[in-house]
Amino acid sequence: MAAAAAAQSWTALQPVNFSEFKFDVPILNGENYKVWKESILLQLGWMDIDYVIRKDKPPAPIDSSTAAEITLYNQWERNAKALLEAIDTQFESSEKAHAMTLIMKFSSMKLTSVKGVREYIMQMRDIAAQLKNLKVEISEYFLMYYILNTLP
């Protein structure tokens, strides 16, 4: 009896078109590239056009190509791979420039440029955290000694 009810509810399920699902993809800026890329890749996967990201371009179909080979080529032609590679290149160089800017800001910050010791320490820790996200590690001990040595 339970099996019949389960079978009946299973047949009542309708097919789902995943390409209609929409994800909230954040607006791309210099700070959220990794989150943006993960969201884009997830969206492309749901839309079933992520094949081009995972596989190299198949040979162009010829007269003797099978229907499967033609379909594979046509699927690959909806190409987003080149675009994502260009964006990767852009933001890798952008991340390096951002890291250099943060390092320069970190090394040139003085207590006189902020309001109070607490604010100065918080800004230095914030810069160190941003650098850590960019894979530039600053140890806690170095940070502590650097801040203490830059205080008047």
Condensed to tens digits (0 to 9), the pLDDT of residues 42-65 reads: 777 776 666 666 777 778 888 888
Per-residue pLDDT, 126: 92
Per-residue pLDDT, 142: 92
Alpha helices, DSSP H, located in the chain: 2-11, 33-46, 51-54, 67-77, 81-108, 116-133, 140-150
Residue 23 banded pLDDT, cuts 50, 70, 90: low
pTM value is: 0.45
Q: Taking residues 34-42, what's their average pLDDT? A: 78
Q: CB within 8 A of 70, min separation 6: which ones?
A: 61
Lowest mean pLDDT among 18-22, 31-35, 48-52: 18-22
pLDDT tens digits, 74-129: 777 666 667 677 777 777 777 777 888 888 988 888 887 667 888 889 999 999 99
Residue 103's nearest CA partner among 58, 54, 143, 65 is 143
Question: d(Cα 70, Cα 76) in Å, to the nearest integer?
Answer: 10
